[in-house]
Amino acid sequence: MQRFAAVIRLRPEKESEYRQLHAAAWPGVLRALKRANIGNYSIFLRDGLLFSYLEYTGTDYASDTALIAADPLSREWWAVTDPCQQPLDSVSAGEWWASAEEVFHLD
């Protein structure tokens, strides 16, 4: 199992919308995540920053996440959630959520 974490800003005027969307996350989007071997997925909010954490149990993260990106329903979900978010200034080209480095873990 691999752990992944990432950070992005939440646009303050979109917080209520973002919370509502995730309170009723679309079942098809959740199924796409599970098909891609993603579980124990959480998003936290603090001081305008969204912090995501997920666990990946597959063997090819790039291929599995490409399947999500190719899923029409997931793309539709992103079309409504992405306007709520603002990437950090430090993201790499083509990156939306900024990957976070794990510096400590306790099992």
* Whole-number pLDDT of residue 4: 97
Element (H, E) at 70: helix 61-70
Q: Which residues pair with 53 in a beta bridge?
A: 5, 42
Which residue carries 């992405």 as its tokens?
82
Q: Residue 9: what are its φ and ψ, rounded to 5°?
A: -80, 150
At residue 93 the predicted structure's pLDDT band, cuts being 50, 70 and 90, is confident
Q: 0.85 cut: is pTM over it?
A: yes
Q: Return the CATH fold of 2-100.
A: Alpha-Beta Plaits (3.30.70)
Range 63-80 average pLDDT: 97
Take residue 102 and report the two structure tokens written for it.
Answer: 């794990």
Reply yes or no on whether the pLDDT at 12 is more than 90: yes
